[in-house]
Amino acid sequence: MGRRVGKRREQSQDDLSPTSIALLAAFLGGVGVLFYGESLLHDLQDSGGQHAQVLADWQVHMGAACMGAAAFVVILYLLELLGRQSKLIAWRSSWPWLPLVGFTAIATVIHIPAYAVISACVIYSVWAYRRTHSVR
């Protein structure tokens, strides 16, 4: 019975790895930037700026999503760099998430329905999450 308790402790410590905490903090930072981007871009459109009216609503949403994805990747890289003290490990942990930035940037220029972008990002995130956790 003593062995089982030891194994449970090891498993619970693995669940709260520094990478998991960095992913959660980066996610929260990315969501914050996404909400800020939505607010900023809508305010720019409402202010009647010279080029603001040329943006469609879907471009505003995807632009904010792109800003949030970029913030997520940058925050994840910086947190992994601080936690692991290695640029190589930080890069290996954060690079799998870069295609999300590119995909949302493309969706900002070319109209891709939001349900397709969200579905593709969720499916891709499963692979990126597993890839990030495989870095040691």
Residue 70's CB: how many other CB atoms inside 10 A? 20
Q: Say what the pTM is.
A: 0.82
Taking the CA atoms of residue 22, residue 101, residue 132 and residue 123 in that order, the dihedral angle to the nearest 10 degrees is 110
- pLDDT reading at 107 higher than 70: yes
Residue 81: which residues within 8 A CB-CB, separation 6 or more? 87, 90
Among residues 32, 99, 110, which one has the least CA distance to residue 67? 32
Q: What is the pLDDT of residues 35-85, one digit of tens each?
A: 998 888 878 777 776 665 677 888 889 999 999 999 999 999 999 999 888
Instruction: Find the distance separating the first CA and the last CA of the chain, reported in whole Å.
Output: 30
Among residues 19, 21, 117, 116, which one has the least CA distance to residue 68? 117
- pLDDT reading at 5 higher than 70: no
- pLDDT reading at 136 higher than 80: no
- pLDDT reading at 120 higher than 90: yes
Residue 20: pLDDT band (50, 70, 90) is confident
